Amino acid sequence: MKKLINAPDAVVAESLEGFAAAHADIVVLGEERKFVRRKSLTPGKVALVSGGGSGHEPLHLGFVGHGMLDAACPGQVFTSPTPDQIAAAAAAVDTGAGCLFIVKNYEGDVMNFEMAAEMARGKVLTVFTDDDVAVETSTYSTGRRGVAGTLVVEKIVGAAAEAGAAHAELQALGKRVNGRTRTMGVALTSCTVPSAGKPTFAIGDDEIEMGVGIHGEPGRRRAKLESADALADTLVGAILDDLAPRPGTECLLFVNGFGGTPNLELYIMVRAAKRTLDGRGIKIARYLVDSLVTSLDMAGCSITLAAFDDELTRLWDAPVHTAALRWRG
């Protein structure tokens, strides 16, 4: 294992310290590194809290800031944050209007966020994300996995919260966005969890894992490496089969690198996905291209499509200012 680390068990703590130092204009690191929260809170705004295992950075801590999350709770690598962490984050950022939890659908996350919600006694609502069309159940999830589409939910609900939307309204919006968002990914290599010290799975020099999960979980099938055009066509095809948008639907196309894939390749996948979408009569209204929901050093990418309407487009376009996502609206 070759990594820029000091010790496997210090990875998350030390990375959080570096993150908090580098983005001290936006975030504050909570006590005992339980969470990262916005430096300044907006009284009366519903507080958005997310989190999950580390190793997917910049998700979620890179999305804490104006127009997106109020706090993010990082667990150890690929390990859920504890209920105690989540409850502490909720208490730190709830200014009286309640909290909305945004939680990727993995058993550990669901359980721990639900326990934290109980500890907070009725002031919490939750949105679960399950945008991964690859498989119906998986290693760590009953039902579909929450993956890169979680970013879309966090951005859009974050914009609505900033604009003053009410607690239940934000939960309904989050469910609506999740329901209109689909993702599928492909891995070219495994990731290596620092504490394990070896690749999560073995894969041949000419093989891919089609439909891989963001922890390196199995997808639909092990297959031979194909061209970018063929891979994008498979991913977009699987998404469209499931999402079934009407021709003419305006979509967000989000091409997301898993951590070990250069931008040069991501944009080849953008071109390839656009070819398929153009052929299917789906309009790309917005693009997002970057490595934002990662799996440590895994090579590969996911494609996310979100079917936008005027409201969702407006909220997507609203200003955001976080460590990893910034635009002016």
Residue numbers at the binding site for a copy of itself (CB under 8 A): 2-7, 11-12, 14-19, 21-23, 54-55, 57-58, 62, 77, 188-189, 205-206, 208, 225, 227-229, 231, 259-272, 274, 284, 287, 289, 291, 294, 296-297, 299-301, 321, 326-328
Q: How far is the CB of 28 from a copy of itself (least distance, A)?
A: 15
Q: At what angle do helices 228-243 and 263-280 cross, to 10 degrees?
A: 50
Residue 110 vs 303, nearer CB to a copy of itself = 303
Q: How far is the CB of 287 from a copy of itself (least distance, A)?
A: 4
Q: Which two tokens stand for residue 219?
A: 């997808």
Give the side-chain half-sphere CA count within 13 A for 25: 4
Residue 4 vs 202, nearer CB to a copy of itself = 4
> Active-site residues: which are they?
56, 215
Q: How far is the CB of 116 from a copy of itself (least distance, A)?
A: 24
Judge contact between 300 and 261, C-beta under 8 A.
Answer: yes
Q: Which two tokens stand for residue 271?
A: 């071109």
Judge contact between 325 and 292, C-beta under 8 A.
Answer: yes
Residue 127 vs 292, nearer CB to a copy of itself = 292
Q: Which two tokens stand for residue 105?
A: 């659908």
Candidates 148, 158, 157; CA nearest to 177 is 157
Q: How far is the CB of 296 from a copy of itself (least distance, A)?
A: 5
Contacting residues for 258 by C-beta, under 8 A, at least 6 apart:
185, 187, 191, 214, 291, 294, 295, 298, 299, 300, 301, 302
